[in-house]
Structure 1
Amino acid sequence: MSKSLFSALDNIVDLNKASLAISLLAIAFNPTAWNIVARNEYANKTITRTFGGNARYGCYFLAVMIFSFGLLRDSLYHRALEDQPRVSLLPEPYATLVPAALFIVGQTFVITSTWALGVTGTFLGDYFGILMDHRVEGFPFNVLRDPMYVGSTMCFAAGALWYERPAGLLITIYVYIVYIIALRYEGPFTDMIYSRRAEQQKKAI
């Protein structure tokens, strides 16, 4: 049973392609690296000091880095898909409609959450001491708790279905797992930052 399963997987996923391993590393690198960098910034203000004590400039620099590495990650993902076996996954017209719908909805979640949070809210400004006045509760945060991560995962799935690469669906599952792990560290730490501010405001009254 297990041999037949591995044999079937071997026909639709080429594990020997270096591009696949590189894509997986890039996917794991981004949230891991930015969480480490952001926590260091919160504790030591390394980036802020580099920019002469200007927290906003430091946050904008990190935003450019995160955005650039996100583009690189997406490029590596598409390269990995190109190197994988192509297998028809959905019948027409669903082979076109489903990935298109997933991509549109996913991008909507990503773009609208970025718009609602702004640059500093999106790119870890909290760790620089740039805190929002209140929790964002409008769309898409009234639909999903983490719309940016969900939207990004949907876009990965859309790419896999559009290019008809089963390996892409496995990568999408991997993306989802990586995001869940990242949120287990990112969410509570962000909550702690805002809890500390609330305590400081109470003491100041």
Structure 2
Amino acid sequence: MSLLKHVDFSKPSLYRSLALIAFNPTAWNIVARNEYRNKTITKIFGGNTKNGCYFLATSIFFAGMLRDNVFQKAIAEQPHVQLLPEPLNVIIPAVLVGLGQLFVVTSTWQLGITGTFLGDYFGILMDHRVEGFPFNVLRDPMYVGSTMTFVGASLWYESPVGLLISLYIYTTYVIALWFEGPFTDMIYSNRETKKDL
């Protein structure tokens, strides 16, 4: 089945969803890099790095909620088609959402707020790499878990466009990781270099 033939390209909500999905990781990478180099948010919070990081975390969290809301509206306005036979049309989406949320929640638990929400750009560095679950199963469990949740929701609502948007979401995460990974490695490498001096 071609998913594209079930997409209504005339709906503005589709384009709002795609724009917001791309905006979020782009914006937080720009803001976080600026913070690392110029300490802009930290200065706004009177030099308190934790408060600055919590502010960014709150902003990212609410931007994510907005993204999810716009995604829901986009798929609600699109055609729906049975994508899976019964009872798989209930079982598979439920398993994907459940596992996806497990990965997201346990990642956040392992990393803490500052570890999850770019605290390293504020100079709040972890003592060592987290290797427990879910990081012993996946390299990027938060991004994978988030994508699984979107795929599960798309299957639950029988939304071909939701599956296409989910693929787009995963692609934006992969692109974000191309920028985040090396930059984060550089931050920790700089810390080790300073320790050796």
TM-score (norm: length of structure 1) = 0.94
Equivalence map 1:68-87=2 (5 Å): 68-87=62-81
In structure 1, the gaps of 5 or more residues are none
Q: Which residue of 2 aligns with 1:56?
A: 50
TM-score (norm 2): 0.98
Tell me whether 1:104 sits opposite 2:79 in the alignment: no
Q: Say whether residues 1:119 and 2:106 are aligned partners.
A: no
Give unpaired runs (5+ residues) of structure 2: none
Amino-acid identity (%): 66
Give the aligned partner of residue 31 of structure 1.
25
Work out which of the residue numbers 143, 147, 151 in structure 2 matches 1:153. Answer: 147
1:185 aligns with 2:179: yes
**Runs of 4+ displaced beyond 3 Å:** none
- What letter matches 2:170 in structure 1? Y
| Residue identity opposite 2:19 in structure 1 | L
RMSD: 0.9
Q: CA deviation at 1:182?
A: 0.3
Deviation at 1:165, TM superposition (A): 0.6
Aligned residues: 196
- Which residue of 2 is the match for residue 9 of structure 1? 4
Q: Give the secondary structure class of the aligned counterpart of 1:15.
A: coil
Counterpart in 1 of 2:165? 171
Query: Counterpart in 2 of 1:199?
Result: 193
1:47 equivalent in structure 2: 41
1:143 maps to 2:162:
no
Residue 92 (1) aligns with residue 86 (2): yes
Q: What letter is aligned with 2:4?
A: L
* Larger Rg belongs to: 1
Query: C-alpha deviations, 1:51-94, integer Å up to 9, x for none?
Result: 00000000000000000000000000000010000100001100
Deviation per CA, 1:150-176: give whole Å up to 9, x if none: 000001101110000100110011011
